[in-house]
A and B are shown apart, each in its own frame.
Chain A
Amino acid sequence: MKKSGADILWECLVREGVEVVFGLPGGAIMPAYDVMLNYPIHHVLVRHEQGAAHMADGYARASGKVGVAVATSGPGAANLVTGIATAMMDSSPVVFITGQVHSHLIGGDAFQEIDVTGITLPITKHNYLITRADEVAQAVREAFYIARSGRPGPVLIDICKNAQVEKVEFEYPEKVSLPGYKPPEHAPKADLQRAVELIEKAECPVILAGHGILMSGAMEELQMLAVKTHTPVAMTLLGLGAFPASHPLSLGMMGMHGEAYCNLAIHNSDLILALGMRFDDRVTGNLRNYAPNARKIHVEIDPSEIHKNVFVDVPLVGNLKSVLRDLIPMLDEYDHETWLAQIGDWRAESQARDILSWPDDDKLYTAKVIHDIWEATSGDAIVSTGVGQHQMWAAQYYHFDKPYRLITSGGAGTMGFGLPSAIGAWFAHPDRQVWVVDGDGSFQMTQAELSTAIQEGADVKICIMNNHFLGMVRQWQEFFFESRYSGTPLRSPDFTKIAEAHGIPAQLVLKSGDVQPALDFARQTQGPVLIEFQVEREEAVYPMVPTGADLASMIRRPHRME
């Protein structure tokens, strides 16, 4: 039977299991939008295409499925770019569908023509320019397969208007043939054996758990490995939730704003077992003196990550879940009591300095507010964040016991990610509590999506930590630029009025005693709620490893002066 390219597109999306897409129509994608109404797919109309990209990304991260965002040609597609780069840096499986001008007009600077496959080439895992209807089905099939397999990532399909309109004989391609694309599954036995030898010899081992644990669904294997080898587990920002924060072997987050005891453990370790993480500069500090006494085992699905930043002794290239399943039976049980006692001392020292140990002075500290949100939501909410101080505090003080709960832009550090990604996450799990922890600066970047939230009835609780600054930059200015606050003081609108103008109930919180009632109000109100917390203006995130410093040389929170 003959079908139009547009019909084939939606038919293929339905077959891939797509239930919701996020987008905004325009000229070159109109044929696709026209027939969309005939398919059982819910369309979420965004206010800016960047929002669509982050929503699809948030949906993907919360659900483990592929997210889909749709935009028109030219500026529509260009507005996706930040969101595509965000998904690329964090290996998030998202398929982007963009309209393109008629294939005969390509190269002629037609209205709303932009070379989108050219622009997105370096920020997608793969992309397609479709000029004929008979190419649509194969491209969609391949795009979904590429996006979710191997090291996941965004794939873009740019479909010319004529390819949407033309009718061709439709046959669903059951098989995908990609001769150059074969993600590795198992690591060679000999390499596993070398890893076993290093693990046997280790006295002070540390596991570094990254996003790869969540992407391959290896949470159970990780716990088996950690318990069997009695090895503490440090997590990257995107790895939070891979291992329960409340587990005695958890070291929490590593890196620039990681727990001090966690960074000290890594620095003093004699074996690093890096699982599905990429030794980003934000987790290593100075590479020359990174875990100087440690042998290193790196389990990673992307061979280009091996030796990229840190030279490792044993690379194990493969699917993390499969590699761990092969590795664990080869290991004996070990005991690292002395090492864990040492880490316990460091941990106690950290806890004494912690802001939660301070007496209540009625002021609002973001860290404490997030702690309260954690308690109010029983630690079970999906928490999405913007980028900056509030993001780091959310990572430190919302103790993630379960996977797929933290939705945050790690690699790209994209401000404005919080609200749209939360809306996407809500579509993945409308039954769960979804909370946005945002900053006053981050929030305003994608504030327009409040309209989307209310139009869709997305039940997201938005908490803005307003410190009247671009806080993280301010902190750097305080520490490294002699407190010259250049371009960081922020005058914001009354966020509660903004919310109310959208029909979203809102509250303003000025002192610590009002936090609990406001959180109760948010929890008890159906639908989106916004709470603005006017927090301390010049608080800093501690600990902090300055750029280029060793992981163990942290700026620590000063002890409280009484």
Chain B
Amino acid sequence: MQPYVTIRHTLIALVEDKPGVLNRVASLFRRRNFNIASLNVGRTEKPDISRMTIVVDEDGSSPLDARRVEANLYKLVNVMDVQDVTNQPAVFRDLALVKVKATPAQRSEVANLAGIFRANIVDVAPDSVIVEITGTEDKIESLVELLRPLGILEMVRTGQVAMTRGTASGARYVPGTNGNGHYVD
């Protein structure tokens, strides 16, 4: 048997900024058995629209998972647009705060590592520091692995956000829906 290859898809959804929309999206993913790796919600340049960045793992058994996610998101009345930016020219960012055990003698080691990754030390306590790092998921993973031997006390990550470069837009698979060769008379 072939091992399953997990394919990670990053989808951007524009949704109406109304109470309960996040719940609707989360509920949809649960009941359709979609596997969310991360979900980020925030405001946009338009006051009544929120933007979600959804990272889903496809188990490789069906090449149609990203399409299914998109088509199901459109069933929600509050979802206005969905695009898959996975293989598109786009900027992907995740932010992490990592609290690392560091005695005064170890601080310079942490500072060195942070410097290499262009991360910042944003808090210093007598026996720990908080490192703030922004970047792609794998860059953050690399720093976290290097900090782990020192002792990670706490960590928080925002989940990935994404934006396509220039005028590029993501892939839209679902015919007859918003933004996509859309045939509404």
Contacts and interface: CB of A to CB of B under 8 A. Distances in A.
Interface stretch (A4-12, A120-128, A201-209): A120-128
A122 B27 contact: yes
B74 A304 contact: yes
A307 B67 contact: yes
B177 A146 contact: no
B75 A304 contact: yes
B183 A188 contact: yes
Nearest to B76: A180
A178 B77 contact: yes
B23 A121 contact: yes
Interface string B148-182: 00000000000000000000000000111110011
Interface in A102-158: 117-118, 121-122, 125-126, 129, 146
For the complex of A and B, the 3 pairs showing the least CB-CB separation, nearest first, are A184-B176, A317-B176, A304-B71
A188 B80 contact: no
Interface in A296-314: 302-304, 306-308
Interface of A: 117-118, 121-122, 125-126, 129, 146, 178-182, 184-188, 191, 302-304, 306-308, 315, 317-318
A180 B77 contact: yes
Given A188-B175, A303-B174, A304-B74, A180 B27 contact: no
B25 to A, nearest CB: 11
B53 to A, nearest CB: 17
B183 A318 contact: yes
A186 B185 contact: yes
B71 A303 contact: yes
Contacts of B67: 307
B176 A307 contact: no
Interface string B68-104: 1001101111111000000000000000000000000
Given A121-B27, A303-B175, A303-B176, A185 B183 contact: yes
Contact of B177 (A126, A184, A186, A191): A184
Contacts of A318: 176, 183
Given A122-B27, A178-B77, 11 more contacts: A121-B24, A129-B19, A184-B175, A184-B183, A188-B183, A303-B176, A303-B177, A304-B75, A306-B71, A317-B176, A318-B176
Given A180-B15, A182-B178, A122 B183 contact: no
Contacts of A129: 19-20
A195 B64 CA distance: 21
Contact of A186 (B19, B80, B183): B183
Contacts of B31: 122
A304 B68 contact: yes
Contacts of B105: none
Which of A121, A178, A185, A315 is packed against the most chain B CB atoms within 10 Å?
A121
A118 B76 CA distance: 15
B16 interface: yes
A317 B174 CA distance: 9
Which of B24, B67, B71, B182 is packed against the most chain A CB atoms within 10 Å?
B71
B116 interface: no
A330 to B, nearest CB: 16
Contacts of B72: 304
B77 A146 contact: yes
Interface string B10-26: 00000110011001100
A308 B174 CA distance: 13
B24 A180 contact: no
B5 interface: no
B78 A180 contact: yes
Contacts of B15: 180
Given A121-B23, A187-B183, A179 B175 contact: no
Which of A178, A184, A303, A308 is packed against the most chain B CB atoms within 10 Å?
A303
For chain A, what secondary structure do more than half of its interface residues adopt (helix, strand, loop), or is it mixed?
A: loop
Contacts of A180: 15-16, 76-80, 178
B184 interface: yes
Given A303-B71, A307-B64, A307-B67, A126 B175 contact: no
A188 B181 contact: yes
Contacts of B77: 125-126, 146, 178, 180-181
Contacts of A121: 23-24, 27
B80 A184 contact: no
B68 A308 contact: yes
Nearest to A184: B176
5 contacts: A129-B20, A178-B77, A180-B78, A181-B77, A184-B175
Nearest to A146: B77
A153 to B, nearest CB: 9
A208 to B, nearest CB: 20
Nearest to B73: A304
Contacts of B177: 182, 184, 303, 317
A181 B76 CA distance: 8
Which of A129, A178, A306, A308 is packed against the most chain B CB atoms within 10 Å?
A306
Contacts of B68: 304, 307-308
Contacts of B79: 180
A304 B182 CA distance: 15
Given A121-B27, A122-B27, A317-B175, A182 B184 contact: yes
Contacts of A303: 71, 74, 174-177
B183 A117 contact: no
A185 B76 contact: no
Nearest to B175: A317
Contacts of A188: 175, 181, 183
Nearest to A300: B176
B143 to A, nearest CB: 38
Contacts of B74: 303-304
A368 B27 CA distance: 46
A178 B178 CA distance: 12
A315 B67 CA distance: 13
Contact of B184 (A125, A184, A308): A184
Contacts of A182: 177-178, 182, 184
A302 B77 CA distance: 13
Nearest to B72: A304
Which of A129, A181, A191, A304 is packed against the most chain B CB atoms within 10 Å?
A304
A128 to B, nearest CB: 10
Which of A122, A178, A182, A191 is packed against the most chain B CB atoms within 10 Å?
A182
A318 B181 CA distance: 13
B32 to A, nearest CB: 9
Nearest to B75: A304
Nearest to A308: B68
Contact of B16 (A179, A185, A307, A308): A179
